[in-house]
Amino acid sequence: MEFNHKPVLLKECLEGLNIKSDGIYVDGTIGGAGHSKEIANRISKKGLLIGIDRDEEAICVAKERLKKFENVEFIHGNHDNIKNILEDLNIVSVDGILLDLGVSSYQLDERNRGFSYIGNGVLDMRMDQTQELTAEYVVNNYKEDELARIIYEYGEERFSRRIARKIVETRKYSKIETTDELVKIIEEILPKRNGEGHPAKRTFQAIRIEVNNEIRPLYNTIIESINVLKPGGRLCVITFHSLEDRAVKNAFVDSCRKMYLSTRYTILYLWSCFKRKNINKKANITIRRGNKAKSKK
Ligand SMILES: C[S@@+](CC[C@H](N)C(=O)[O-])C[C@H]1O[C@@H](n2cnc3c(N)ncnc32)[C@H](O)[C@@H]1O
């Protein structure tokens, strides 16, 4: 399977990052290196690009795609640990950070990763294949209430209770091991309807978010990212759904409030895209805060 991922909001991110040729940049979600390639193209040999991904396969692909660039450091890790990752590289602060949150189209298309409700695959859904928790564990071991909560909260699925009940009833007789088995359970509760999207879409999203702990650390990750920016540094975040969006916006707003009182001069950009496939529907927010002295001039 080829790792094809068309970088989302590429132009806006490059504009937002306002790349300085000798700067230090972090792509916290390097994936197929679509954004990173363009960042690498814009920095000189004195600059540095640090590409992080929790998926080892993505790191391998990114290394191959960026092999002509000498000044790229690849890290298999979690951007939630951005401060420690930078400390290990003896870097205190950076000029720009990009976070393109969520799964890549490669991960969705690759059946043996279990992210997709289309085509059969093992119930895995781990972005980082070295972690223990899998979708199979969640589906077969979480209590009914907990499953219902996750499906409701992370999938915004109004039939969450009925789906959770059906999962628990089914697993009494045999373990649920494949994506097809899970899809069939959901389809018994929610039959396919024209124009309404796949009935399993929201439940799959919810289980994936739980397996990869995508929402809980996000607020702190954004705060940490802002804290490691140099004065004048930029942070661009691409979000996909409302839960990510809320956590990111709250962190931006909270830290802007604090920043207004401090002497830092940092410009933050948030590019928010609710539906990747429909870029025109994007909400585009720019938050700028200057230091008091400068803003009085
Ligand atoms: C939407 S894709 C990024 C695609 C990339 N911008 C490109 O142009 O090819 C998201 C990537 O972020 C990775 N990822 C998601 N959460 C992460 C985290 N907390 N830490 C590190 N990588 C993460 C995923 O494994 C995936 O490869």
Local confidence pLDDT in tens for the 297 residues of the chain? 455 567 988 988 999 899 999 999 999 999 999 999 999 999 999 999 999 999 999 999 999 999 999 999 999 999 999 999 999 999 999 999 999 999 998 899 888 899 999 989 999 999 999 999 999 999 999 999 999 999 999 999 999 999 999 999 999 999 999 999 999 999 999 877 767 789 999 999 999 999 999 999 999 999 999 999 998 889 999 988 889 989 998 998 888 776 554 444 444 555 444 443 433 333 344 544 333 333 333
Burial of 139 (0-12, 13-18, 19+ CB in 10 A): buried
Distance of CA 46 from the midpoint of ligand 1 (Å): 26
Which residue's CA is minimally distant from atom 14 of ligand 1?
Answer: 29
State the pLDDT at residue 294.
39
Atom of ligand 1 nearest to the CA of 78: 20
CA distances in angstroms from 11 to 16, 236, 249, listed in the order given: 9, 12, 21
Nearest to 85 by CA among 48, 121, 35, 60: 48
What's the pTM? 0.89
Residue 194 alpha carbon to ligand 1 centre in Å: 31
Cα(55) to ligand 1 centroid in Å equals 8
Q: What are phi and psi of 67, to 5 degrees?
A: -65, -25
For residue 171, give Cα distances in angstroms to 139, 144, 184.
Answer: 9, 11, 13
Cα–Cα distance for residue pair 103/71, rounded to 1 Å: 26
pLDDT at residue 276 in the model? 39
Identify the residue whose C-alpha is closest to ligand 1 atom 27: 31
Residue 295: its pLDDT value, please? 31
Distance from Cα 140 to the centre of ligand 1, integer Å: 27
Cβ–ligand 1 contact at 9 (below 6 Å):
no
The minimum-distance atom of ligand 1 relative to the CA of 32 is 9
Domains of the chain (ranges plus CATH)? 10-102+215-296 (3.40.50.150), 107-211 (1.10.150.170)
Residue with CA closest to ligand 1 atom 7: 34
Closest C-alpha residue for ligand 1 atom 2: 104
**Can you give the pLDDT at residue 249?**
87
